Structure 1
Amino acid sequence: MAMSATSGRTGIEKIISLEDAVELLTTAISSPHTTPFCAVPVELASARVNFALLNTCGTSASARLKFTKSYPRLLRAAIRFLTFKQTEEAHDTMFALLAYCRCRKTVRGKSPEMIERVKQFHGSWSEDISEEDNLLRGMVSIRRTVDFLITLIRVALSSLTANKFRTPIAGADAQDQPWPLDVKDLLPAGIPETIQGLELWTRELGGTPKIFKLATVLSLHHKPLALALLRSPHYSFAISRPLVLLTEAMDSYENDSNSARTEEFGDTIQDIFDFFHIFYKQDLTGPWHEALRGKVNEMTPVFERLAAIISSLPGRSSSGPAPDDHWSQTLIAIQLLLSRGGSRRTTLDAGTARLLENLNNPVRDALFEMAIVRKGGCGYLLCPKNSVYSKLCSKCDLVRFCGQEDVVAEGDLGVFVEERPRFH
């Protein structure tokens, strides 16, 4: 397999400055159909920004947020690039233009310094590289760049509660304003077009399961997107495309189940099941269960195969206690999803109910749910105002409401509120 732009490379900060990397990356993804850069130097630029993010900020969430917020132009270019609506043919053309490196030809006749600079941007440069390896290297670079852009967007949104946006800076250029300022800034293509744009990145050419992590973050921030993802009757992005990527991940894992592959496999599974979970967190009225019922026959064989693989992983004994990890949570989620869909198949792990009971941790689970509630939208789960920023209840400082009328309505529903506090 061809090496990535950065594999085996040291001193990336000496090859390109952070400022130049941000400019190169922003320029390339702003005009992907016409950029003079191929995917390899674009990945180098993303790796340089990531190097700064990790080495400057360390594990500090606040430092990473501050770093990411300082590049609003890059964030706006990233969200447009990942949600841009175009035909499948246009997307494939764009992908091929980025993936196929023509840099050897474009630097012929240039100065030795220019040629050496371009070689540095590519990490390794073989004049006799095959067409297949050339394209493969570019495809890997694009995928890694896309995955990094998704990480940037996730960090940038991490401090915002649902439907909350940044405050404009007086006198600043529109592109230098904090991101996002409003829904239009968050989803510049609009909701239907955003879904179509996201789905392009789940296709065979350039597909990445990380796109579901992006969809999760965007949907948690703006509930109408989550509801729009449940498009009947096909539920393509919500269910069908995740099942395809799950199948591809299982095929890849079964062909090569080394430790690195297991970690990558686990990341894919977690990203997709986290995506499934947003529909439980965002919806109470039935569209998700309707989707499950409509797609249960498509889901069942994929989930049964996944459950069998998880149950066979090292350290998972049928007789001993199951470890409290994301694999166990996935087994539970599989059973719950299929039961909600009305599946009558019974070949899944028979100990799932016992597993759920054994992994029960009231304190941890309560804190987890409290964090979701405090950062989410209106505590009245049937509130029709999906796009309104909800303020914290002055009594509990935990649940959010759009207004006093929702406090009263929630009191009647009786999910969060035992008595009706005054909302301010």
Structure 2
Amino acid sequence: MTLQTAVETMVSTMQNPMGPESCALKFFCAVGRFRQATPKPVKNQAQSRKFLESYPDVMRATISFLTRKQSSADHASMIEHLDRCHCGDSDPEARGSQHSVTQAFTDPRISPTHKGFMMHLGIAFLIDCLMSILTNLTHGKFRQEKKDGGNSSMKQPWPHGIDDLLPNGLAHSVDGFDLWAANAHCGYLFLRLAGSIAHAYPAFAVEIMSRSPNFHLGLHCPAQQLSAAMDLYDQRPAGWNPTAIDSGFMLPLIYTVNFLGLLSSGGINPYAAMMGGTSAKQILLPVLLRGISILSLPGLETHFAGEFKEMWRMLAVINHRPQDGYDCLEDPLEECFNALRIARRGGCLNITCLAKAGMVQGRCCGNCDLIRFCDKKCQTEAWRDRSFPHKAVCAKIKSLRETLGPKVWGNVVTTNPRFTVEDFKKACRGKRIDLKLVKEVGILVTCVQSSQMYYRSLNSS
């Protein structure tokens, strides 16, 4: 297949996916030929981008295809239609070249077992092409339109304006992305592109955030993708590598968290309205708490430091607790100090315990001498909690308490106003306490506190 034929096949398929000769295999082979001709970005990113920019008609066809508004039933029918070859047999030689496996390629992000495998393989590469161009744009600016280019889609650079970036309009484009991102296996690829568009054109983010809480693209799809990644972590085999791109963990995590963070490009007020609402607490908060717990583990924190901090930032917005945000986590000693004081002077920290009238303080755990519980029942439930069991943090708190010594520990937990966070830092450094231990204690205690706030907000009368 010639490169020109490949380009024509890609464009025609995406412009008329329900056409009489549309075919996912032919489209896949055409993308494979285009991929072969594209300079590898790892060798020369600028050269690769320049090549892609020379095919604006492919980029326009791709973005128009992905932002097409249709019902979920029509979308499913389109994928099924493309999965069946409709190519004629009148020219066997042409048919053979258009279906040649010499252009075939694989992508660890797309599994052969997934429905619409070949179509999604091709789209995944074209999303990479769009991303290469979009990430090179100056924020808020588009490509300059050529005066001598006329209206030809083959000559004008992409994107040279809002209508060129989203040819189907703002509202329809958001609806189109919603359909693709709903794919449980590779929806994170579409969230990645949606986040990049939101960054380039903040009104796109505003449109997503202004939809109803039941709109999938805003909260449900990200929660689904993150949950799937964490499920894979829970099922990880021996020797599992969290940074392998075929793990199903690294890319869904990075792309999804980045998408949620980039939604704030649409403004703090709409972002706070969406993330601070009841729906975010119900849909996203449990996933974030689970993610923070996983990423705080040794071996993961260094690989996903950016995602870890972004999750904390979102948690702070959802809980209306700025003290849990990004800036505080820059100082793990301060975070731990605050968490310890809040825990000791608070009531029962069994996540599923509702606040009891007149109960200010409960009994302290005899081992860690910090976390309080109403009674033996609450302590047992907390010890066995599925998300944040007390047994996971109890020994760490005890180790920290014993290393600090009774005098310093007493000043920490009795809220002595003369003993400040600076004194706590000085004591930790003087006793050479492992900062990883301090950070783990602070994170786990705060996760329990946030989980309890969430549970009580759902079950309070």
Query: Normalising TM by the smaller chain, what interval?
Result: 0.5 to 0.7
CA contact (8 A) 2:142 2:159 kept: no
1:29 aligns with 2:14: yes
1:50 matched residue in structure 2: 35
Q: Which residue of 76, 79, 104 maps to 2:60?
A: 76
Distance 1:21 1:230, change over 3 A: same
From the superposition, tell whether residues 271 and 47 of structure 1 become closer, same or farther in structure 2 (CA, over 3 Å): same
SS in 2 for 1:211: helix
User: For residues 52 and 168 of structure 2, what CA distance do their matches in structure 1 show?
Assistant: 22
TM-score when scaled to structure 2? 0.61
Matched position secondary structure for 2:47: helix
| CA apart distance, 1:37 | 3.9
> What is the aligned counterpart of 1:221 among 200, 205, 209?
200
Shift in CA distance, 170/352, structure 1 to aligned 2, threshold 3 Å: closer
Give the match for residue 426 of structure 2: none
Q: Is the 8 A contact 2:312 2:325 kept in 1?
A: no
Q: Contact between 1:216 and 1:278, CA under 8 Å: does it hold in 2? A: yes
Separation of aligned partners in 1, 2:127 and 2:184: 18
Pair 1:188 & 2:167 matched: yes
CA distance in 2, matches of 1:252, 1:60: 34
Shift of 1:48: 2.4
The verdict on how the C-alpha distance between 1:255 and 1:45 changes in structure 2, with shifts beyond 3 A counting, is farther
> Is 1:308 equivalent to 2:283 in the alignment?
no
* 3-state SS of 1:305 partner: helix
Report deviation, 1:280. Answer: 3.2
The CA distance in 1 between the partners of 2:257 and 2:181, in whole Å, is 15
Structure 1 spans left out of the alignment, 5+ residues: 1-15, 125-134, 317-321, 345-349, 359-424
Equivalent residue for 2:181? 202
Larger Rg: 2
- After superposition, the Cα gap between the structure-2 partners of 1:204 and 1:279, relative to the gap in structure 1 and judged at 3 Å, is closer
Closer/same/farther in 2, CA of residues 355 and 47 from structure 1, 3 Å limit: farther
1:357 and 1:203, CA in 2 relative to 1: closer, same or farther beyond 3 A? Answer: same
Q: What is the rounded CA distance, in whole Å, between the counterparts of 1:70 and 1:190 in structure 2? A: 24
Equivalent of residue 330 in structure 2, options 325, 331, 356? 356
Q: Is residue 336 of structure 1 aligned with residue 313 of structure 2?
A: yes
Structure 1 residue 236 corresponds to structure 2 residue 221: no
The offset of 1:35, in angstroms, is 5.3
Given candidates 275, 286, 296, the residue that maps to 1:292 is 275
Cα displacement (A) at 1:221: 1.5
Q: How many angstroms apart in 2 are the aligned matches of 1:282 and 1:115? A: 47
User: How far, CA to CA, are the matches of 2:144 and 2:185 in structure 1?
Assistant: 32
Change (3 A) 1:351 1:79: closer
CA displacement at 1:218 relative to structure 2: 1.2
User: Pairwise mapping of residues 14-413 of structure 1 onto structure 2 (< 5 A)?
Assistant: 16-34=1-19, 36-55=21-40, 58-101=42-85, 107=89, 111=92, 113=93, 116-117=96-97, 120-121=100-101, 136=113, 139-161=116-138, 162-176=140-154, 177-204=156-183, 207-234=186-213, 236-255=216-235, 257=237, 258-259=240-241, 260=244, 263-284=247-268, 286-294=269-277, 295-312=280-297, 315-316=299-300, 322-323=301-302, 325=303, 327-342=304-319, 356-357=330-331
SS in 2 for 1:230: helix
In 2, Cα distance between the equivalents of 1:351 and 1:171? 49
Q: C-alpha distance in 1, partners of 2:275/2:28? A: 38
Q: Percent identity?
A: 23
Change in 2 beyond 3 A, CA 1:262/1:71: closer
The superposition leaves residues 318-351 of structure 1 with CA deviations (integer Å, 9 ceiling, x where unpaired) of xxxx52x3x222222222211211179xxxxx99
Aligned-partner residue type, residue 123 of structure 2: V
Whether contact under 8 Å (1:180, 1:186) holds in the other structure is yes
Opposite residue 236 of structure 1, the aligned amino acid is H
| Corresponding letter in the other structure for 1:62 | A
The C-alpha deviation readout for 1:134-177, integer Å capped at 9, x for no partner, is x9476222222221121111222233221333322415452222
CA distance in 1, matches of 2:49, 2:134: 8
The letter for the 1-side match of 2:128 is T
Does the Cα contact within 8 Å between 1:165 and 1:181 map onto a contact in 2?
yes
Asked if 1 retains the 8 angstrom alpha-carbon contact of 2:21 and 2:85, the reply is: no
CA, structure 1 residues 293+119, in 2 after alignment: closer, same or farther (shift >3 Å)? closer
Give yes or no for contact 1:75–1:179 (8 Å, CA) kept in 2. yes
Partner of 2:427: none
Instruction: Give the structure 2 partner of residue 383 of structure 1.
Output: none
Q: How many residues align?
A: 317
The alignment's TM-score, normalised by the length of structure 1, stands at 0.66
In 1, the alpha carbon distance for the partners of 2:7 and 2:94 equals: 20
Contact kept? 1:232, 1:291, Cα under 8 Å: no
String of CA shifts for 1:253-293, please: whole Å, max 9, x gaps.
44455444664311111111111121334413x11112112
Higher relative contact order (CA 8 A, sep 6+): 1
In the alignment, the residues of structure 2 paired with residue 35 and residue 239 of structure 1 have an alpha-carbon distance, to the nearest angstrom, of 37
Q: Runs in 1 of length 4+ with deviation above 6 angstroms?
A: 350-354
8 Å contact from structure 1 (residues 95, 206) kept in 2: no
